[in-house]
Amino acid sequence: MAAVPFERVDADAPKLAPANAILTVDDIVKRFETPDGVLTAIDHVSLSVAPGEFVGVIGPSGCGKSTLFNVIGGLLDGYDGTVKVAGERLRGPHPAIGMIFQEESTFPWRNVLDNVAFPLEIAGLPRAERYDRARHFVKLVGLDGFERRYPAELSGGMRQRVSMARTLAAQPKILLMDEPFAALDEQTRLLLGDKVLQIQQQLKQTTLLITHNITEAVQLSDRIVVMTYRPGKVKRMVEIKLPRPRSSEIVSSEAFGRYVAQIWSDLREEASRGLDDEESRKLHEGEKQ
């Protein structure tokens, strides 16, 4: 057998379950009723996350990543298995969990500042304090000067940054980010990625990040969960044992390259299963016509 250059761990290896887990996802199965029958979106997914841990989630399109986040975020019910936050079973959205969605999710009737201040209003923060904090986060995502603008007056990437600022301003203990940078240009993505990481490290936020970008996942994560093509299972968990803080120089190191190659080879297998599946579906549809 070839030497394993870094730790590869089987998905169900028990030693990965930290005793003090802040988030425990236990044997989740989520199915959807569709016109073509029942679709299993996630299939027996288990995951334990330690306080302050940064977990990257990577997998082919349609493998159930967003569904998994929606279950953890308490936005979906009707699933098998349990989700626990600090040992307490989840029954709907939990105040410790903040989500940044794949699509921007601003309130169109509120201006930028009022969007960002909204969760702080719900949390009962005094007015002056919530606007101070909202202004800070609006600036952090590079939108100072746009405080009084409404979402319809902004670009898609700017609206995504408003959603991001709104979630970050609430300073959740557990942060779920579903491809938060996908709509942004490369420069903004890098700058904002750095800032989000800084906040995450400062506040020791437990973070789960869905991304399609392997380099980004390796650079940011303590552990990466690689998911299979439909139905979404955990294919592999890879611990990223690179020193922190991780500057951009680390990307060119040999160890970094090995992680990227391993994850890419796992992903390529799954992505090609996905493509084959699509091809054969189209073929069958063609035959039926």
Ligand X SMILES: Nc1ncnc2c1ncn2[C@@H]1O[C@H](COP(=O)(O)OP(=O)(O)OP(=O)(O)O)[C@@H](O)[C@H]1O
The size of the interface with ligand X (CB under 6 A), counted in residues, is 14
The neighbouring-strand residues paired with 37 are 34
**Least distance to ligand X, CB of residue 65, Å:** 4
Contact 30, 64 (CB under 8 A): yes
Binding segment (CB under 5 A) for Mg ion, from list 62-70, 123-131, 220-228, 246-254: 62-70
Is 62 an interacting residue with respect to ligand X (CB under 6 A)? Answer: yes
Residue 87 in tokens = 């040992």
The size of the interface with Mg ion (CB under 5 A), counted in residues, is 2
Q: Which of residues 91-120 bind Mg ion (CB under 5 A)?
A: 102
Is 61 an interacting residue with respect to ligand X (CB under 6 A)? Answer: yes
Is 47 an interacting residue with respect to ligand X (CB under 6 A)? Answer: no
Q: What is the DSSP letter of 151?
A: G
State the residue for tokens 């995450």.
200
Residue 184 in tokens = 């942004």
Q: Which of residues 65-84 bind ligand X (CB under 6 A)?
A: 65-67
Contact 235, 228 (CB under 8 A): yes
Residue 163: contacted member of ligand X, Mg ion, none (CB under 5 to 8 Å, by partner type): none
At residue 130's C-alpha, the angle toward residues 129 and 134, to 5°, is 120
Q: Which residue number, 66 or 205, has a Cβ lying nearer to Mg ion?
A: 66
Is 280 an interacting residue with respect to ligand X (CB under 6 A)? Answer: no
Is 66 an interacting residue with respect to Mg ion (CB under 5 A)? Answer: yes
State the residue for tokens 């299939």.
43
Is 32 an interacting residue with respect to ligand X (CB under 6 A)? Answer: yes
Contact 244, 237 (CB under 8 A): no
Neighbour order of strands in the sheet with 80-85: 37-49, 23-34, 80-85, 88-89
Is 217 an interacting residue with respect to ligand X (CB under 6 A)? Answer: no
- Report the residue from 64, 98, 180, 274 that binds ligand X according to the rule CB under 6 A: 64
The neighbouring-strand residues paired with 99 are 176
Residues that bind ligand X (CB under 6 A): 32, 34, 39, 41, 59, 61-67, 102, 230
Residues that bind Mg ion (CB under 5 A): 66, 102
